Amino acid sequence: MVRVIPTRDALRFVGEPTWAALSGEPVTTDVWTDVADVPHVRLGQAADLVLVVPATADLLARAAAGMSGDLLTATLLTARCPVMFAPAMHTEMWEHLATQDNVATLRRRGATVVEPAVGRLTGADSGRGRLPEPSELLALAEKILSARTDPADSPSATLQRPGMTRPAPVPVVSPHAEGRGGRAGRLGLDGRRVLISAGGTREELDPVRFLGNWSTGRQGYAFARAAAARGADVTLVAANVELPDPEGVNIVRVVSAREMHTAMLGEAPAADVIVMTAAVADFRPVARAEQKIKKDGRLPEPIVLTGNPDILADLSARRAEHGPAAQVVVGFAAETDPDLDTARAKLARKGCDLLVVNQVGNGRGFGAGDNEAVVLAADGTVTPIPRRSKDALADFVWDLVAARFG
């Protein structure tokens, strides 16, 4: 069941009969309609999720101040479920210190405030402030509901048994006429600066050929979306990825291992957490042919390879030498035949805090929609993650990371 709570301004754009017809539920803006049912209390008490989409600067200010002048703001005060705001406004309004203070207040209280997208705004203006795509908001809402209705999906809980069902969600949706995530049932990363690598690097042989791998970047992008939903400031270094940019995430594009090495070490000093999901080439050609290598009946000269820098090990070494000491470094080890003894040795050699070991090949890992892994910690802890979607796996690992910040 979905209940729509419009503001008075929202009804200037879409009328009350339309919302009632689409939702199949009564629609009102004030607290005096059906007052015997005390709707401003009952709606908040019954909801599994409250979505404020879009959320204007005015609505964010009223919510942060705890005002209750209409049915929507009154419901926000009585809601004991997760609340998600999707801001939409002009760039200047979004960047104003008053709006940023209000967003920080709402996130501190545990609400999810999604970063607005960049794009066309009202009139001829463009910039940050555009409402994120509905598919992005739906995915985040489903993730919030899953976290709330499936407490088993956490590192410290027993996995859900086959055949168990979840209660049907009862979201309350608020459309608002004018036009980064918090805890939302998960351990938060509010205000943390997160650096993530994703994709697969390419090492050029000639102008048309390269040495590469099958990584699509889907797991790294899942980590970026999940971190942004938890309130983190996310920078994503992406190598040769053909996926839509996650909303509210700063993207740095690279091609080769050396380019990624430069980008990651350049961004690392400002990061609280570093997650290396990228599949980085271990080797590159010593020389790149300036012209396409021709097939003229003769075998080409042998391709001589040399080693690429070890980005994960260098990140850990930089932290040890220059800090910050509290920085958490997470590595990924994609193996065709995972062996925990070998993985433990790799964890020690790389110097990271957590190593996510996952099996690839034969339809697993690269390009797949799901993944499974074992997380090894520097303190000796071993945490298996049974097969699940890459988004769910990212959330699981973020719980392990966020727990380290208390």
Taking the C-alpha atoms of residue 123 and residue 229, their distance in angstroms, rounded to an integer, is 29
Q: What tens-digit pLDDT sequence spans the chain (406 residues)?
A: 778 887 777 777 777 777 677 766 776 766 656 655 655 577 777 788 899 989 999 999 999 999 988 888 888 988 888 899 999 999 899 989 999 999 989 988 888 888 888 777 877 787 888 888 887 788 888 878 776 555 444 443 322 222 323 333 344 454 543 333 333 345 568 889 999 999 999 999 999 999 998 899 999 999 998 898 888 999 999 999 998 888 789 999 999 999 999 999 999 999 999 999 999 999 999 999 888 888 776 667 788 999 999 999 999 999 988 877 789 999 998 877 667 888 999 999 999 999 999 876 555 556 566 788 899 999 999 999 888 888 888 988 999 998 888 6
pLDDT at res. 99:
92
Determine how β-strand 233-239 pairs with β-strand 83-87: unpaired
Closest CA to 236 of 211, 213, 254: 254
Domain 193-294+302-403 fold is Rossmann fold (3.40.50)
AA identity, residue 175: P
The answer to whether the beta carbons of residues 62 and 73 sit under 8 Å apart is yes
Q: How far, CA to CA in Å, does 118 sit from each of 113, 133, 345, 389, 396?
A: 16, 11, 44, 28, 29
Count the neighbouring beta carbons within 10 Å of the beta carbon of residue 235.
22
* Answer CATH for 3-161+170-174 from 2.40.480.10, 3.40.50.2000, 3.40.50.1950, 3.40.50.1470: 3.40.50.1950
pLDDT at res. 341:
87
In angstroms, how far is CA 405 from the centroid of its own chain? 18
Give the position of tokens 């035949």.
Answer: 337
Mark 195-213 as b/e (b = at least 16 C-beta within 10 Å): bbbbbbbbbbbeeeebbbb
pLDDT at res. 229:
81
The pair of structure tokens assigned to 111 is 């609400």
Residues 6+ apart with CB under 8 A from 385: 372, 373, 374, 375, 393, 396, 397
In the chain, list all ranges with CATH 3.40.50.10300. Answer: 193-294+302-403
Residues 6+ apart with CB under 8 A from 189: 227, 230, 231, 232, 273, 398, 401, 402, 405
Taking the C-alpha atoms of residue 366 and residue 113, their distance in angstroms, rounded to an integer, is 31
In the chain, list all ranges with CATH 3.40.50.1950. Answer: 3-161+170-174
Determine how β-strand 233-239 pairs with β-strand 193-199: parallel
Residue 271: DSSP 8-state: -
Residues 6+ apart with CB under 8 A from 245: 251
Residues 6+ apart with CB under 8 A from 390: 218, 219, 222, 368, 369, 370, 371
Q: In terms of C-beta distances under 8 Å and separation of at least 24 residues, what long-range contacts does 104-110 make, across chains too?
A: 105/64, 106/60, 106/63, 106/64, 106/182, 107/180, 107/182, 107/190, 107/191, 107/231, 108/190, 109/182, 110/82, 110/83, 110/182, 110/183, 110/184, 110/188
pLDDT at res. 203:
96
The answer to whether the beta carbons of residues 303 and 209 sit under 8 Å apart is no
The answer to whether the beta carbons of residues 130 and 86 sit under 8 Å apart is no
CA angle 336, 333, 282 (to 5 degrees): 90
Rg of the chain (C-alpha set): 24
Q: How far, CA to CA in Å, does 382 sit from each of 337, 355, 374, 377, 400?
A: 18, 10, 7, 6, 11
Beta strands of 29-125 (E only): which ranges? 49-55, 83-87, 112-113, 117-120
